[in-house]
Amino acid sequence: MAGRGSWSARPRTAPPAVALSAALIFTVLTALTGCGSGDSGGPADDTAGGSPAAAAESPGESAGQDGQDGQEQPAGEDTDEFQPPDLAHKQFEGREPALENLGEGDWGGPFPHAGAEFWALVHHTYTGSPEDLTAEGFGEAFAGLRPVHLFMSFVHVGGEELTGVDLLKQTGSAVWSADGEQAMGADLGDEGAALPGGCPPGGAERDYALGVEEVICMTYFLPADAEPAEVSLFTGQENELRWRLG
């Protein structure tokens, strides 16, 4: 048993001569065939080639990243805070809000509202006595667009076509006088609510407590086919719409 154990251990321990012969044979074969240099060069080439490959991939990846960055930049611009067109806005300091000297198509602001500042587009300026301000023809003038007034943090949007006072009752609204005071304002979307003000005001029975003779209507537009909902005025989609109108 000991002999078998001793014999079985011999193959596991190669004699020095056998190991030397194997090394010599490998060296000769390497010299004759060049396979060894190819093999040894292979990994070296792989390593060397790997670096250029990695370098080649690196520009590709960086280019891809640059491309992604390029694609992400417009998205970043879309999410940036809205800025009115340079040639279309007027800014006044020391008045909140400051509406004087604004005309139709002008951007006014910034206006503080709900802890934020935003800009508004003047779409109509009405001058005269309250009795002269009517809503006649208002709906027809803006067919296809739903007017939404900027001085409400939330507005009520209806999907059906409305005109005149019926349209005004579906929107939150506020009207500001030229001296920067709020002349009137109410959430007209509440069912059964009176119509104390609107854009434009709808009749001589309106209560103008401040006795203003000029009001400036700051409005915002949403598509007429919008689903009935409460829509925040401070989303990127509406900012985009506001930009197009500007």
C-alpha closest to that of 189 among 217, 153, 136: 153
Residue 168: predicted pLDDT: 36
Question: What value does the mean pLDDT take over residues 140-145?
Answer: 35
Q: Angle 35-79/16-33 helices, nearest 10 degrees? A: 70
Q: In this structure, are residues 147 and 171 in contact, taking their beta carbons and an 8 Å threshold?
A: yes
Residue 118: predicted pLDDT: 42
Enumerate the β-bridge partners of residue 125. 216
C-alpha closest to that of 212 among 128, 151, 116, 150: 128
- Mean pLDDT across the chain: 39
Q: By percentage, how much of the chain surpasses pLDDT 70? A: 0
Question: What value does the mean pLDDT take over residues 209-236?
Answer: 37
Residue 222: predicted pLDDT: 38
Q: What is the pTM of this model?
A: 0.25
Residue 131: predicted pLDDT: 37
- The answer on pLDDT for 238 being more than 50 is no
| H/E stretch holding 217 | strand 214-223
- The answer on pLDDT for 104 being more than 50 is yes
Q: How many Å apart are CA 201 and CA 174, to the nearest integer?
A: 10
Residue 30: predicted pLDDT: 58
Question: What value does the mean pLDDT take over residues 43-72?
Answer: 43
Q: By percentage, how much of the chain surpasses pLDDT 90? A: 0
Residue 182: strand, helix, or coil: strand
Residue 154: predicted pLDDT: 23
Residue 27: predicted pLDDT: 59
Q: In this structure, are residues 167 and 139 in contact, taking their beta carbons and an 8 Å threshold?
A: yes
CB atoms within 10 A of CB 221: 18
pLDDT category at 110 given cuts 50, 70, 90 is: low
Residue 107: predicted pLDDT: 55
- The answer on pLDDT for 35 being more than 50 is no
Q: Is 24 exposed, middle or buried (0-12, 13-18, 19+ CB in 10 A)?
A: exposed
pLDDT category at 58 given cuts 50, 70, 90 is: very low
Residue 105: predicted pLDDT: 57
- The answer on pLDDT for 16 being more than 50 is no
Q: How many Å apart are CA 108 and CA 101, to the nearest integer?
A: 10
pLDDT category at 237 given cuts 50, 70, 90 is: very low
Comparing 194 with 62, the larger pLDDT belongs to 62
Q: In this structure, are residues 125 and 103 in contact, taking their beta carbons and an 8 Å threshold?
A: yes
Instruction: Give me Rg for the CA atoms of the chain.
Output: 39
Q: How many CA atoms lie within 13 A of 167 on its CB side?
A: 26
Q: Is the dihedral of CA 43, 45, 46, 52 positive or negative?
A: positive
- The answer on pLDDT for 202 being more than 50 is no
